[in-house]
Structure 1
Amino acid sequence: MNRKIINLAVGKPKEYNWNNKIGFSGIGKSAVKSFKVEKSIIVGDDVANHKFHGGSDRVVCFYPFEHYSYWEEVFQKKLILPAFGENITATGMTEEQVCIGDIYKIGDTILQITQGRVPCVTISNYNEEKQLLKKVIETTLTGYFFRVLEEGTIKFDSEITLLEKHSKEISVSFATQILFHQKQDKASIEKILAVDALAEDWRNRFLKLL
Structure 2
Amino acid sequence: MILLTGTSRPFGDGHSAIHKEPADAALFCSTLGLPGDEVADPRFHGGADRALHYYPAEHYQFWAHYWQSLGLTASPTPFEAGAFGENLCGQGWTEHTVCVGDRFRLGGTLLEVSEPRCPCHKLNTRFDYSHMALQVQLTHRCGWFFRVIEEGDIAPGDTLERVEQDPLGLTLAQCNAILYGQPFNREDLTRLAEHPKLTSVWRNHAKRWLETGVGGDWHRRLFSHPATSQ
TM-score > 0.5, shorter chain as reference: yes
Moved more, 145-154 or 73-82: 73-82
Moved more, 165-174 or 132-141: 132-141
Q: Which amino acid aligns with 1:14?
A: R
In 2: Cα distance, 1:49 partner to 1:183 partner: 30
Per the normalisation by structure 1, the TM-score is: 0.91
The 8 Å contact of residues 11 and 44 in structure 1, kept in 2 or not, is answered as yes
The 8 Å contact of residues 183 and 209 in structure 1, kept in 2 or not, is answered as no
Q: Which amino acid aligns with 1:12?
A: T
Q: Which residues of structure 1 form unaligned runs of 5+? A: none
- Alignment deviations for residues 101-156 of structure 1 (CA, whole Å, 9 cap, x no partner): 00000001000001001110111211222221121112111000000100111111
Q: What does residue 5 of structure 2 align with?
A: 10
Q: Which 4+ residue blocks in structure 1 deviate beyond 4 angstroms?
A: none
Secondary structure, in 3 states, of the residue corresponding to 1:57?
helix
- Alignment deviations for residues 78-104 of structure 1 (CA, whole Å, 9 cap, x no partner): 424211000001111100010000000
The 8 Å contact of residues 57 and 200 in structure 1, kept in 2 or not, is answered as no
* Greater radius of gyration (CA): 2
Moved more, 127-136 or 163-172: 127-136
Secondary structure, in 3 states, of the residue corresponding to 2:176?
helix
Q: What does residue 204 of structure 1 align with?
A: 204
In 1: Cα distance, 2:80 partner to 2:96 partner: 24
The 8 Å contact of residues 56 and 147 in structure 1, kept in 2 or not, is answered as yes
Per the normalisation by structure 2, the TM-score is: 0.83
Secondary structure, in 3 states, of the residue corresponding to 2:53?
strand
Moved more, 189-198 or 102-111: 189-198
In 1: Cα distance, 2:133 partner to 2:147 partner: 24
How far residue 192 of structure 1 moved from its aligned partner, in angstroms, is 2.4
* Matched residues, number: 201
Q: Which residues of structure 2 form unaligned runs of 5+? A: 69-73, 211-230
In 2: Cα distance, 1:75 partner to 1:123 partner: 14
Secondary structure, in 3 states, of the residue corresponding to 2:149?
strand
Identity of aligned residues (%): 30
Please show how residues 125-140 of structure 1 align to structure 2 within 5 Å: 125-140=125-140
